[in-house]
């Protein structure tokens, strides 16, 4: 077991004290104008202290639910706009003031859960029925923390050539655990039933007909749709890596592996444009398509070098154990995949389990 404090101490003692450079690029192609993104590359944990800097990147997408036999945009994009404007502030307000970086990183996963829930509660008070997915990424030094609800996705293309999924899709069609959670809570999961009993389309949660099990907003689809995010935290090696954060318009067209391969060796801005272009070439413009590419690189590099081609360069999902010290103080094993040290993961949809 390797505590987070030990990992940070190694970084400080072993010549990795210098923070990496952050390079990022954005590209989008709009069909309905319902994707929103957030880029905050120069946030500060301690006001006025440049050494306490961290970066935030996020993507949100307005959800479409089924009412009767028609699709509507859940009264527009208000939930996505609200999340963009308030989610980060709610996360930061859940972190105690005056704590050091080690404790800040340990507190961050729990603060992300609190921030997502607070954003959902505040939006519900507005009395609107809009809904949104959200994927929020915090980069502090070589440590990356990701929180997500819905099916916007974040992948990591590390320098050892391994592509890793840092989020979990909350599509009922594909996520067995979420289907079981919804039905165990009294919800109904099924497809749209046409006259004559013919079923069409993806699995949906009823009432409401939403095909996702987690989101912010969506007050009219019942208590089975929750805003509690899946959270994952990893630590990169000093070789760095590339994050690709994108809405489902990208992932419906490209696999994680194909998206990573399409832009390797290119600067972040060009890489984002190429991923969007490849998605459009593959499936056409069926949905809003938004992509953020974030390179976490040594300061002496202008862009992320092309990762080596290895035979084992296959997609790997980092389904890892929790960090060595969880919130209840119980020790857990720490595992690693390639050049990535895995610190924390929790995906429970039950608040009592996230705050114990």
Q: Give the alpha-carbon dihedral of 333, 326, 39, 301, to 10 degrees.
A: -30
| Residue-level pLDDT at 306 | 65
| Residue-level pLDDT at 219 | 83
What is the maximum span of the chain, computed from C-alpha positions, in angstroms? 70
**Is 317 buried (19+), middle (13-18) or exposed (0-12) by CB count in 10 A?**
middle
| Residue-level pLDDT at 330 | 31
| Residue-level pLDDT at 157 | 96
CB 279 within 8 A of CB 271: no
pTM: 0.85
The token duo for 262 is 């399409």
| Residue-level pLDDT at 5 | 56
Alpha-carbon span 211 to 63, nearest angstrom? 9
Contacts with 351 (C-beta within 8 Å, 6 or more apart), sequence order:
113, 117, 228
Q: State the 10-residue block means of pLDDT for the chain, 356 residues long.
A: 53 59 92 82 93 94 45 59 94 95 96 97 91 94 96 92 94 96 92 83 90 90 91 95 93 95 95 95 83 93 62 43 36 48 93 76
Alpha-carbon span 210 to 203, nearest angstrom? 8
């Amino acid at each position: 077991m390797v505590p987070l404090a030990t990992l940070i101490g190694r970084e400080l003692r072993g010549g990795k004290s210098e923070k990496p450079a952050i390079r990022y690029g954005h590209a989008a192609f709009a069909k309905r104008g319902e994707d929103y993104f957030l880029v905050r590359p120069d946030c500060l944990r301690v006001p006025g202290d440049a050494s306490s800097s961290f970066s935030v990147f996020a993507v949100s997408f307005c959800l479409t639910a089924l009412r009767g036999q028609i699709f509507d945009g859940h009264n527009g994009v208000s939930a996505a706009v609200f999340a963009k404007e308030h989610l980060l502030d709610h996360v930061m307000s859940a972190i105690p003031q005056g704590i050091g970086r080690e404790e800040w990183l340990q507190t961050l996963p729990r603060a992300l859960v609190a921030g997502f829930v607070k954003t959902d509660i505040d939006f519900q008070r507005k009395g609107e029925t809009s809904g949104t997915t959200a994927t929020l990424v915090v980069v502090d030094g070589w440590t990356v923390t990701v929180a997500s609800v819905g099916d916007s996705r974040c992948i990591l293309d590390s320098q050892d050539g391994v592509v890793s999924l840092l989020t979990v899709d909350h599509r009922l069609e594909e996520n067995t655990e979420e289907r079981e959670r919804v039905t165990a809570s009294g919800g109904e999961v099924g497809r749209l039933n046409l006259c004559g009993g013919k079923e069409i389309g993806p699995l949906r949660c009823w009432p409401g007909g939403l095909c996702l099990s987690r989101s912010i907003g969506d007050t009219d689809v019942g208590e089975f749709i929750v805003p509690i995010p899946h959270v994952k935290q990893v630590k990169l090696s000093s070789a760095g890596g590339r994050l690709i954060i994108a809405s489902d318009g990208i992932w419906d067209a490209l696999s994680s592996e194909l998206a990573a391969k399409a832009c390797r060796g290119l600067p972040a801005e060009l890489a984002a444009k190429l991923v969007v272009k490849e998605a459009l070439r593959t499936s056409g413009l069926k949905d809003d398509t938004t992509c953020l590419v974030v390179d976490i690189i040594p300061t002496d590099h202008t862009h992320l070098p092309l990762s080596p081609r290895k035979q084992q360069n296959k997609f790997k999902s980092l389904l890892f154990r929790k960090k060595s010290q969880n919130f209840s103080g119980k020790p857990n094993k720490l595992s690693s995949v390639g050049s990535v040290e895995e610190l924390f993961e929790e995906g429970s949809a039950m608040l009592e389990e996230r705050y114990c």
